[in-house]
Amino acid sequence: MLLDHDGAAQHQDDDPLDPDRKFGTVGAVALDANGNLAAATSTGGMTNKQAGRVGDSPLAGAGCYADNESVAVSCTGTGEVFIRTLAAYDIAAQMRYGGRSLQQASVNVIHDKVLELGGSGGLIAIDRAGNVALPFNSEGMYRGFARVGEPAEVAIYRES
């Protein structure tokens, strides 16, 4: 199965706004001025998935999670592994009960736990202090973030 951002799924001359390619993953996380954290995840699933397969995206705690006390997380990748690791919630748990920073927890989940089970993908997350983490272990991940009054930042591949 392929992810949206796997090299093999990319066709250089494809129009990124082609309406026939509108079934990719979209995730969003936000922190508002009142300290509310929110996360949303939408996906078309994975290429060649079995009919009726349910991935991690609609499962709170697996592909999506938000809690005002810790963090908002939205995941993309091999859903079966994000379900087994409860990836999004595990970040919140590491922060709340283990005292880890967002950066430590999200890197641990993506680069250790998900990778160890053969999972590919990444996540976007923002914590209650406004720290942002965008880790991924796949070849690339379409991503961006913005803060009020600052220019938005976007990227696909690893920063050099």
The yes or no reply on residue 56 touching ligand ASP (CB under 6 A) is: yes
Q: What type of residue sits at position 153?
A: E
Indicate the residue among 58 and 98 with the shorter CB distance to ligand ASP: 58
Residue 60 is classified by DSSP as B
The yes or no reply on residue 85 touching ligand ASP (CB under 6 A) is: no
Q: Where does residue 145 rank: exposed (0-12), middle (13-18), buried (19+ CB within 10 A)?
A: middle
Size of the site for ligand ASP (CB under 6 A): 13
Q: Which of 29, 72, 79, 110 binds ligand ASP (CB under 6 A)?
A: 79
Segment near ligand ASP (CB under 6 A); pick from 31-39, 71-79, 86-94, 96-104? 71-79
b/e 65-100 (16+ beta carbons within 10 angstroms → b): bbbeebbbbbbbbbbbbbbebbbbbbbbbbbeeeeb
> Which parts of this chain interact with ligand ASP (CB under 6 A)?
3, 25, 43, 45-46, 55-57, 63, 76-77, 79, 121
